[in-house]
Amino acid sequence: MGCILKGGGGLYSRVVIGAVLLAAGSASRMGHRPKALLQLGGVPLIRRQLIALSGAGVDELVVV
């Protein structure tokens, strides 16, 4: 049956959570590499953002 708060057939339907990930920027002062591809600890920033959004329960994502 599932959780009634998460759309398991109970009283409440689950809310769909959407997000917009702003990934633009040429990084002209950082060597002209796109900002989203800059790395922190060997991991591109966009990957870190996607992991964080997934962990936060985002269902739909638009990358701009």
Q: What is the pLDDT of residues 11-55, one digit of tens each?
A: 666 788 999 999 888 778 878 888 888 899 999 999 999 999 999
10 or 35, which is more confident: 35
Number of domains in the chain: 1
Domain-located, residue 1: no
Q: Is 45 among the domain residues?
A: yes
Amino acid identity at 2 = G
Please answer whether residues 47 and 34 qualify as being in contact, where contact means their C-beta atoms are separated by less than 8 angstroms: no
Domain membership of residue 2 (yes or no) is no
- 41 within some domain: yes
Question: What is the SS3 string spanning 31-47?
Answer: CCCCHHHCEECCEEHHH
Please report the pLDDT score of residue 2 as a whole number: 46
- 1 pLDDT band (50/70/90 cuts)? very low
CA 30/CA 20 separation, integer angstroms: 24
CB count in 10 Å sphere of residue 23:
15
Provide the residue range defining the domain that includes 44. 17-63
Q: Which is more confident, 34 or 9?
A: 34
